Structures are given as C-alpha cells and as structure tokens.
A and B are shown apart, each in its own frame.
Chain A
C-alpha cells in the first residue's frame, strides 16, 4: 500500500524549518525540500519563462506575443517561424543553459572552497577554458565538438594548475583565489597573444566571444550545452547529499562516512565540466558563476547549499542580460558579458567589502 505524503509542517513542531516532505512508504523513497527554496525556485522559473518569451518576441523584427508559441511550434507565419526557430529560440535556449551551467558550477565551487570568492570565473577555470577554445579555433580550426573538448581540457588544466600551485597541506580558500587571479591574468595574456596569430576576421570574432556573447548561437551550439547539462545536472543532484556533508569539513565528513576524496574530485570535475561547456558555447560570460549562487543564497535565506536556485538564477541573469544588451543601444547588440560585467563588478566589490567587515579575508 503506497501512501504519498506531502507535508507542509508548521513551526509548532519546533524541531525543523518549514519543509516539503515527499515520502512513499512501500518502496521506501523520501525527499525533503526546504519550503522557501521551492517557492523561490518556482518564482525564478516564472521569471525565466517570461524572459524567454520576451527574448523570442523582442528584437529588430518584433514578433507579437500571440505569434511566439506558434512560431516555436512551427505552425505560425513563415516569417515568424523562421526568425523564431532559426535565430531567437536557439539564442535564448543557449543563453538559458549557459546561465544555468555557470550558476550551478559557481555554486559547486563556492561550496567546496567554502568561499564565495572562489568562483570558477575568478580562479581561472573559465580563463583556461577560453584559452583552450581560442587555441583550438585559431591554431586548429576546430569543429564545435572539438572546441568543447578543448575547453574542458583547458578548464581542467587551469583547475589542476590552481590546485597544484595553491597546495600547501591542503588548499585554503584565499590562497586559491590569489593563485587563480594570477592564472587568469596569464591565461588572458596568452589568449590575447593567440589573437595576434589569427587572421583579422577570426581575431575580431574571437574578441567578441571573449567578452561572453550569444551572437551567432545556432542549434549547433544548443546541442552540446544541452547534452552536457542533461548529463551533469542529474550527476550533480546525485552528488548533492555528499556535498552537504563535505560542507562541514573534511574530518566531520569523513566521520559521517563520506568518501571525501572521491566525492570532492567528482564534484570538482562536474563543476569544471559545467563551466567549461558553458564557456565553450558562449565564451567566459563574466561573473554569472559568481553572483548567481550568491543571489540565490540570499533569496532563499538558505541554510546550506542551494543548487537548483543557483542554476535558475544564473539562467535568469543571462536571459535578462542578453535582453538588455540587445535593446539598450538597438540595433547594436552589446554582448551579454558586458552587461553581466557592469552588474557583477560592483557586486564583487560589495562581496569583498562584506568579507572585510566580517574579517574573514586575508
């Protein structure tokens, strides 16, 4: 006899926060979701859908709202369908997935390092991925798949380099940040040098891409990111309980029965893969991996990790930023990375000020 039980427990049971508990008794399945996080996630979904629709509708050739859904399904007018299906929709979908990937990756890194500043776009992962991607384009004229592979290798290489250079009886958060910023500088130097090797056309295109751009995103870009997310999101979901314990410190986690090294490496690999795939697709979009999880955390007032909200916030950020970038100086399009940088830089400075005040930096 199965019994589906959904509880919204109130705080007269003082022992736990309000939570949604889903429990099946016979096959012994259960899960618990923090109520506020669920509500925030739903809200973010609404925002994402709205931004998606807006992204498809708004542009140099505006598509009336009534035509959006038919356009997506391919049953609208020819013009609308063409624009929607070939230009707007792939761009919007890529933006959504890239944002989600960056957000999730940032949440993983920041939680593992227990430091909000240890975000993949600050400690050099995206710089390494973009260096490798640019190298693949400029030196080897690689195909999309090969670029993705190169980006992953670059991101992984950068992570290993940071780890190796920052290691001193374990990796403390701030040393990693320091080394990571340095490596980012090296990476961008090398990337710029590579640009001088390219022909003019490639160089300019790569230069735009390096700020983080959704230009020219076609279905061939959607697929790699989509596949990556399809694999990595479930993987991360499975690893989430281990991450929750890793948060408590290596010794405690070990004492709880977590295979610390195995899961930490797996989570790191997932984080690197997410950031690299996203970079391979849209370039190193500035600061999404940093501020997505931070905003999500503050929205959920989360106790512990908030992976799903982080991913959703990242997606929403990129979609909205792209919309702003397209409309601000229409018909010129500002790359989405420009908008996220203008928003993200002050946020980073604010985070820095927060860390100063609580005296947790050094």
Chain B
C-alpha cells in the first residue's frame, strides 16, 4: 500500500465509531516492505472490505490488525490501547479472526470445532460453563449448522466448512470479525452463501466485519467501506458504497 494517506479524515465526516485501527503502519516481511505508512480506522458496525491485486498487502494488513503480525513501526490499537500491550486472551474476546484456508484436524466434528471458540472465556477449572454451552448453541443456530453438529469438518462442502469456522469465531463472542479471503476456493454458490451470512451477522447482530476479498464485484455488493490499493503502490483510495 502506498504513501501516507489518512483514511480517517475521509471517514471522520461520517463519524462512525471505530474501535480497531492503525496509525502510520509500516508492515514488512523480513526485507520486503509491504505496507507503507498507512493510517486506517475500521468503522464499528459496518462491513469493511479490503481489495486489491495479489501481493499488495491485503492479508498483511488484516493480520496486523489481528495482532498476528507486529508492525515495523506504527501502532495498531484496539479500544484506544496499543493492541500489542493488551493480553492476547483479552483481545480474543473482542476480535475474532478467520485465517486463510484454515485446516481442521482429521475427524474433528463441527460441534467440537465451534466449542474451541470458547477458549478465551475458559479457565483450566472452568472448561464448559453454561455460557459456553449457550454460546455454542447460538453460534450453530445462527450459521444453520445444527443438523451437521456431529459431522467431521473435513467431510463438509466448502461452504459448510467456512460456516463452521465462522461459527467458531461467533462462539468467541467478539464484536469484530476479521476474515482473510473467506471465499477463495469456493464455488460461486458457496461464496454467496458465506457472504450473505456475514451480511446477516452485520445487519441483524451488529457485528463489525472486515474481509479481504479478491472479487471487486462482490466487494462492492457487500461492503459499506472499501479499502483499495492498486499494484503500483500509489495512494490507497477509500470508497464508500451502499448496497
């Protein structure tokens, strides 16, 4: 991503809240700098989509926002604090992430996968509280996976599998969901299935959703805010779109 642009300025006019964001981020892998002096605010309660050509830093930005990647310089913050100063379990109760192409271990059932999402709320002596049970039930209901509860995740279709992973993130009970290319490798029908689910979670459940997508058409259809970057590393542009 390109030279300094304060996206926040463009958004400030609308004044949505923003719990998650980054200030003057420099993100790099070893010697290769991928994101260069970026400031960004993720508006709460909206769907933000990050689009762009390959290798322009979309996933990198998402990972940095999720605290999976430490910025070379600049800060990622959550609720006003530097995210790297917060305990990781605490972050996990506020921000959930679905990485690219997640793999479930062989034989793991849907119910057990979703149950893993309760980890940030559990202690060694409190491994299955009523809240945990309720949250898992709710997550599976929202993603319409009750009938598949006992099936191994690796036996599901692409769309169903992604719904299971989303259910796990839902069970986490976070207000924000970050998803890295959730629709890549899915066929068209399943892509729509997943995106509709996310849209639903946003409109009816108020979740903040940030996605990385390849397809500009889909991005325009589903996003409230678009973060775009062309390959030649000039200024990133922010487009506001209404579906």
Contacts and interface: CB of A to CB of B under 8 A. Distances in A.
Interface string B53-95: 0000000000100111000000000000000000111111101
Contacts of A247: 105, 108
B222 interface: no
A249 B108 CA distance: 13
B90 to A, nearest CB: 7
- Best-buried of A21, A28, A297, A304 by chain B (most CB within 10 Å): A304
A302 B107 CA distance: 7
Given A11-B150, A15-B149, A17-B111, A23 B128 contact: yes
A252 interface: yes
Interface stretch (A210-218, A238-246, A272-280): A238-246
- Best-buried of A29, A32, A252, A297 by chain B (most CB within 10 Å): A252
B109 interface: yes
A245 B88 CA distance: 14
A16 interface: yes
B208 interface: no
Interface residues of B, number: 51
Contact of B68 (A16, A21, A254, A304): A254
Contacts of A258: 88, 119
A318 to B, nearest CB: 26
A256 B117 contact: yes
Interface string B103-136: 1110111011101110110101111111011001
Given A15-B149, A17-B109, A303-B107, A255 B66 contact: yes
B96 interface: yes
B17 interface: no
Given A245-B119, A254-B68, A32 B128 contact: yes
B147 A14 contact: yes
A244 B116 contact: yes
A165 B98 CA distance: 31
Nearest to B165: A252
Interface in B8-53: none
B152 interface: yes
A338 B69 CA distance: 49
Q: How large is the interface on A (under 10, 10 to 19, 20 to 34, 35 or more residues)?
A: 20 to 34
B146 A14 contact: yes
Contacts of A297: 107
Contacts of A259: 88
B91 A257 contact: yes
Contacts of B93: 257
A114 interface: yes
A200 B66 CA distance: 62
Given A256-B119, A257-B88, A257-B92, A303 B126 contact: no
A178 interface: no
Contact of B104 (A16, A30, A32, A248): A248
A238 B111 contact: no
B128 A30 contact: yes
Contacts of B226: none
A259 B113 CA distance: 19
17 contacts: A15-B111, A16-B133, A17-B109, A17-B111, A17-B149, A30-B128, A32-B128, A111-B105, A238-B124, A241-B124, A248-B116, A249-B99, A251-B99, A252-B98, A254-B88, A257-B119, A297-B107
